[in-house]
C-alpha cells in the first residue's frame, strides 16, 4: 500500500545515501531521531545557518520568505521580485526551499544560488557531485513550478581568504557557476526523485538489509542498527580501514560472516586487520614488547603531556585567520621531570573577547620545559596549531617550531599496533584506549566529555550566550575536561611502562 507524501530535498539526499534510512526518517522518526544530534552535528548545522545568513548580504535588498510559505513565494516570483531568500516551492510530489534566487532582468530568468558552509579547497570531487545533485533537485522542482531558470550557482567559503580583522564578504565567499555540472544531471535526478518518492510512499520498509551493510562502521546510516538487527555490535564492519576495502567487506557479508570473531583464518586481511581479529577471538590483549620498549625509551625527561582545545571558526573573527582556522583557547599540561616522578599540572584558558593567540603562546612559553619530549595524542593536530600560530605571530615562530621538533605522538603506539586490546575495537582514539588500559580513570561524570562540546562551550562563553554563574561554571568544566585529557596520556604512558616491565597487558575488568 502507498500513501502520497511530498519528497523534500533533504530526504532525497538521505535517500541517495541510504534508501532504507530515508524511509525510517519519514515513517519512524522516533527511531531516526532516537539519538539526538551530537554537539558536533548541532554545531555543523548552526554553522551552516550562520554562513547562509551572512551570504545573503552579497545579494542585497532581498526578502526572506516565511518558512513553508509556498503561496507567498509563488506571488513574489510572479511579480519577478529581484532577490528572494529561502523561497519555497511545492508540487504534488516534491517540496524544496532554495537559499537565494536572483532575477536577471536582461535575460528574463531567475539564477539559483545554493550556499554551503564548506570551503573551496576541501574534498572537491565528492562534494561537488553532492552539490550538483542538490542543485538539480531544486532545478527540477522549480521547473515544474514554472519558474524561468537561468544559471545554477554554488556559494561557499574561499579557503584562501585571510581576514584583516573584518569580514570582506565579497572576498570571503566564492560564487561558482555549476550550470555545466547540473544540466546533464537533470534527467537522471528526475528519475531518482521518482524512485525516492515511491520508496517514501511505502507503508512498510523495503525488504532486506540496507546498502550500508557493505560500508565500514563510520559510514553507516543513522538507523543502521534498527534496519540491520542481525549485525552484531562488534562486527566485521569494525575492522580497521575496512571501508577502504569494499571488495573484502562484501565477501564477508555475502558469506554471512558478520561477527568479527567468525572471520576465517585463511581469509585475506591486512596484517592490522588479522591482528585485530586474533585479539578479538582470543579475548585478550596483544603486546609487541620490543617496538613498544623502543618507543618508550626514546622519550626524554622532563616529559610534557600536552593537550590543546580549539574552536574551528567558519567565519574568521580575528586578523590572520582563514575560514575554519582553529582558534586555540586552552591547553593542559602534565610534566614528569624524572623516572618515577609525580606529574605536575599547569593549564591555561582564555575566555576574553580578544584574539587568544598572544596570550596562549605566552602561557605556553611559561609552562613548557625548554627541553625534553612533548607527548600529544594525534601529532598533526598540535603541530598544525603551532605552525599556524607561528604564521600569525612571527616573533614566536622559533619557539613554536622548537616545540614541534620535540613532539611525540602517543597514539603511534596504537596505530602501529604495538598494543592491541579487544576493547579497542580497532579504534585508536584516547576515548577507546583509556577505559581499556586505565579503567579507574574515565570521562564519565564530567560535564564535558569530548572536544566538540569543549569547543562549543568556549564559543558560548565568548559570544555572551553564557554569562555570570553559568559562564563561570562552564569555565570550570572546560578546565576539568582538558586536565583529564593530559592526565589520561600520563596514565596510559604509565600503564605502557608497567606492561613492558611485566611483558603483558593485564585484562581490565
**Cα gap 160→158, rounded to integer Å:** 5
Query: C-alpha cell of 432?
Result: 577507546
Nearest one of 272, 305, 270 to 288, comparing CA atoms: 272
Q: Are strands 419-420 and 286-287 parallel, antiparallel or unpaired?
A: antiparallel
Provide the edge-to-edge strand list for the sheet that holds 303-312.
343-349, 326-336, 303-312, 374-376, 407-409
Angle, CA 83 vertex, CA 77 and CA 84 arms, to 5°: 65
Among candidate residues 310, 308, 313, 309, the one with its CA nearest the CA of residue 46: 313
Q: What pLDDT score was predicted for residue 121?
A: 63
Q: For the chain, how big is the Rg over CA atoms in Å?
A: 26
Classify 369 as helix, strand or coil: coil
- Decide: residue 435, CB within 10 A, 0-12 exposed, 13-18 middle, 19+ buried: buried
Q: Is 324 left (phi over 0), alpha (psi -120 to 50) or beta?
A: left
Q: What is the dihedral of CA 265, 268, 273, 276, to 10 degrees?
A: -10
Instruction: Give the DSSP H or E segment for 16.
Output: helix 9-17
What's the grid cell of residue 429? 582514539
Name the one residue in this structure whose C-alpha cell is 625509551: 297
- Cα–Cα distance between 119 and 153 in angstroms, integer? 15
Contacts of 104 (CB under 8 A, 6+ apart): 110, 111, 150
Distances 326 to 140, 361, 437, 454 between C-alpha atoms, Å = 39, 14, 31, 13
So what's the pLDDT on residue 509?
A: 38
Given the DSSP bridges, would you call strands 149-157 and 173-177 parallel, antiparallel or unpaired? antiparallel
Q: What angle do CA 430, 431, 435 make, to 5 degrees?
A: 100
- Round to whole Å and give the CA distance between 378 and 400: 17
CA distances from 199 to 1, 18, 492 (A): 11, 11, 49
Beta pairing, strands 374-376 & 303-312 = parallel
Q: Are 273 and 242 in contact (CB under 8 A)?
A: yes
> What is the pLDDT at residue 354?
96
Count the neighbouring beta carbons within 10 Å of the beta carbon of residue 162: 15
Strands (E), 19-90: 63-64, 83-85, 88-90
Pair 456, 39: CB distance under 8 Å: yes
Q: Which residues of 88-125 are buried (b: 16+ CB within 10 A; e: fewer)?
A: bbbbebbbbbbbbbbbeeeeeebbbbbbbbbbbeeeee
pLDDT at 469: 97
Please choose, from the candidates 135, 85, 139, 75, the residue with its C-alpha nearest in 3D space to the C-alpha of residue 109: 139
131 Cβ contact partners less than 8 Å away, ≥ 6 residues apart: 114, 116, 154, 178
CA 274 from chain centre, in angstroms, equals: 28
Written as tens digits, the pLDDT of the chain (509 aa) is: 455 689 999 999 999 999 999 999 999 999 999 988 888 888 889 999 999 999 999 999 999 999 999 999 999 999 999 999 999 999 999 999 999 999 999 999 999 999 999 987 655 777 899 999 999 999 999 999 999 999 999 999 999 999 999 999 999 999 999 999 999 999 999 999 999 999 999 999 999 999 999 999 999 999 999 999 999 999 999 999 999 999 999 999 999 999 999 999 999 999 999 999 999 999 999 999 999 999 999 999 999 999 999 999 999 999 999 999 999 999 999 999 999 999 999 999 999 999 999 999 999 999 999 999 999 999 999 999 999 999 999 999 999 999 999 999 999 999 999 999 999 999 999 999 999 999 999 999 999 999 999 999 999 999 999 999 999 999 999 999 999 999 999 999 999 999 999 886 654 43
Which string of DSSP letters, residue by residue, matches 447-481? Answer: S--SHHHHHHHHHHHHTTSS-HHHHHHHHHHHHHH
Positive or negative CA dihedral for 200, 206, 209, 213? Answer: negative
Amino acid at each position: 500500500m502507498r500513501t502520497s507524501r511530498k519528497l523534500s530535498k533533504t530526504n532525497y539526499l538521505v535517500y541517495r545515501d541510504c534508501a532504507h534510512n530515508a524511509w525510517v526518517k519519514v515513517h519512524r522518526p522516533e527511531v531516526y531521531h532516537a539519538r539526538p544530534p551530537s554537539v558536533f552535528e548541532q554545531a555543523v548545522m548552526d554553522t551552516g545557518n550562520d554562513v547562509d545568513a551572512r551570504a545573503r548580504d552579497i545579494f542585497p535588498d532581498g526578502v526572506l520568505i516565511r518558512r513553508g510559505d509556498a503561496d507567498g513565494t509563488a506571488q513574489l516570483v510572479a511579480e519577478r521580485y529581484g532577490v528572494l531568500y529561502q523561497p519555497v516551492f511545492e508540487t504534488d510530489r516534491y517540496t524544496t526551499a532554495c537559499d537565494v534566487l536572483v532575477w536577471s532582468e536582461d535575460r528574463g530568468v531567475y539564477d539559483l544560488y545554493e550556499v554551503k558552509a564548506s570551503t573551496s579547497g576541501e574534498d572537491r570531487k565528492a562534494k561537488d557531485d553532492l552539490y550538483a545533485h542538490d542543485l538539480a533537485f531544486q532545478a527540477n522542482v522549480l521547473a515544474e513550478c514554472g519558474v524561468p531558470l537561468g544559471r545554477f550557482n554554488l556559494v561557499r567559503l574561499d579557503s584562501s581568504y585571510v581576514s584583516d580583522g573584518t569580514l570582506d564578504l565579497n572576498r570571503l565567499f566564492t560564487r561558482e557557476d555549476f550550470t555545466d555540472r547540473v544540466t546533464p544531471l537533470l534527467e537522471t535526478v528526475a528519475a531518482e526523485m521518482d524512485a525516492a518518492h515511491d520508496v517514501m510512499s511505502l507503508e512498510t520498509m523495503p525488504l532486506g538489509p540496507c546498502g550500508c551493510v557493505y560500508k565500514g562502521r563510520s559510514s553507516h546510516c543513522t538507523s543502521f542498527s534498527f534496519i540491520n538487527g542481525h549485525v552484531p555490535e562488534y562486527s566485521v564492519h569494525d575492522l580497521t580501514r575496512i571501508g577502504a576495502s569494499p571488495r573484502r567487506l562484501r565477501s564477508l557479508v555475502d558469506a554471512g560472516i558478520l561477527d568479527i570473531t567468525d572471520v576465517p583464518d585463511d581469509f585475506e586481511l591486512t596484517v592490522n586487520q588479522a591482528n585485530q581479529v586474533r585479539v578479538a577471538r582470543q579475548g585478550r590483549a596483544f603486546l609487541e614488547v620490543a617496538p613498544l620498549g623502543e618507543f618508550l625509551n626514546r622519550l626524554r625527561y622532563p616529559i610534557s603531556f600536552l593537550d590543546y582545545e580549539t574552536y574551528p571558526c567558519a567565519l574568521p573573527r580575528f586578523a590572520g585567520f582563514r575560514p575554519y582556522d582553529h582558534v586555540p583557547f586552552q591547553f593542559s599540561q602534565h610534566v614528569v621531570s624524572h623516572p618515577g616522578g609525580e606529574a605536575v599540572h599547569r593549564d591555561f584558558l582564555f575566555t576574553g573577547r580578544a584574539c587568544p593567540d598572544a596570550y596562549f603562546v605566552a602561557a605556553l612559553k611559561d609552562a613548557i620545559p625548554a627541553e625534553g619530549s612533548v607527548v600529544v595524542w594525534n601529532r598533526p593536530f598540535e603541530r598544525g596549531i603551532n605552525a599556524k600560530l607561528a604564521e600569525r605571530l612571527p616573533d614566536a615562530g622559533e619557539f613554536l617550531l622548537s616545540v614541534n621538533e620535540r613532539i611525540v605522538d602517543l597514539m603511534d603506539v596504537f596505530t602501529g599496533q604495538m598494543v592491541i586490546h579487544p576493547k579497542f575495537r580497532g579504534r585508536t582514539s584516547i576515548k577507546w584506549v583509556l577505559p581499556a588500559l586505565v579503567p579507574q580513570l574515565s570521562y564519565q561524570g564530567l560535564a564535558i566529555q569530548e572536544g566538540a562540546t569543549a569547543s562549543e562551550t568556549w564559543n558560548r562563553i565568548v559570544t555572551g550566550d553564557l554569562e555570570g554563574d553559568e559562564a563561570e561554571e562552564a569555565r570550570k568544566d572546560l578546565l576539568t575536561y582538558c586536565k583529564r585529557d593530559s592526565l589520561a596520556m600520563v596514565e596510559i604512558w604509565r600503564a605502557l611502562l608497567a606492561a613492558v616491565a611485566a611483558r603483558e597487558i593485564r585484562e581490565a575488568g
